[in-house]
Amino acid sequence: MQKGAVLVLSGPSGAGKSTIIQASSSEIGEYYFSISTTTRLPREGEKNGVDYFFVTKEHFEEDIKAGHFLEYAQVHGNYYGTSLVPVREALEAGKLVIFDIDVQGHRLVRAKMADIITSAFITPPTLQSLKERLNARSTDNQEIIQERLENAKEEIKAVNEYDFIIVNNTVEEATKRFVTIAKAARLKQSDKDNENFIEHWLSEK
């Protein structure tokens, strides 16, 4: 009776989300990592189909009209969204679907999939440590770093909306926590499956 489940990860860019997912991947079993679609231009080093699906504004707006998005939002004039079809397919195949989306996206996905969602907010221990990480990876210019820090200050206020918070003091400890959370996330039952179970249980003589 076990079908798929959803794990939403949020947290500031630079919190270490990708590193933690990668470090966990051998331990958490088969999962589908949902790739967002965006109308913003690729930054240096970003690859289509890996970091995002990069599409035109026209394309995105047609997909909105066609009802192709599980969630979408406009940020700084650019669209960001999650396509419904691959998520639905992965869930039907019983996979754990992992989303790396922002606070706003988490709210929208939770509203639609409340019964099968688990969510975790990953954050560096301090604002100072986030600043250091962003400077160290040197993929962003100062303007983008400043924007990321401002975003982080806003997003951190939503921590209480998440099931779990992972403070990334060390990658080892954070990965351990993430593995535990991902394994538990996979055990979430959909309300519909539960209702089938109840019905079957009660139909017995």
Name the strand (E) or helix (H) holding 193.
helix 191-203
Using a CB cutoff of 8 Å and minimum separation of 24, what contacts does 102-105 make?
102/10, 102/73, 102/75, 102/155, 103/10, 103/154, 103/155, 103/158, 103/161, 104/73, 105/8, 105/10, 105/71, 105/73, 105/80
SS3 141: coil
Stretch that binds a second copy, among 13-21, 74-82, 123-131, 139-147 (CB under 8 A): 123-131
Contact between 41 and a second copy (CB under 8 A)? no
Contact indicator for 38, 56 with CB cutoff of 8 Å: no
Q: Per CB under 8 A, which of residues 124..143 are in contact with a second copy?
A: 126-128
| C-alpha to C-alpha distance for 78 and 17, rounded to whole angstroms | 22
Q: Per CB under 8 A, which of residues 144..203 are in contact with a second copy?
A: 153, 156-157, 159-160, 163-165, 167, 177, 180-181, 183-184, 187-189, 191, 194-195, 197-198, 200-202
Q: Which C-beta is closer to a second copy: that of 28 or that of 97? A: 28
Contact indicator for 158, 103 with CB cutoff of 8 Å: yes
Q: Which C-beta is closer to a second copy: that of 141 or that of 196? A: 196
Q: Which C-beta is closer to a second copy: that of 95 or that of 177? A: 177
Count of chain residues binding a second copy (CB under 8 A): 32
Name the site residues for a second copy (rule: CB under 8 A).
Answer: 1, 115, 123, 126-128, 153, 156-157, 159-160, 163-165, 167, 177, 180-181, 183-184, 187-189, 191, 194-195, 197-198, 200-202, 204
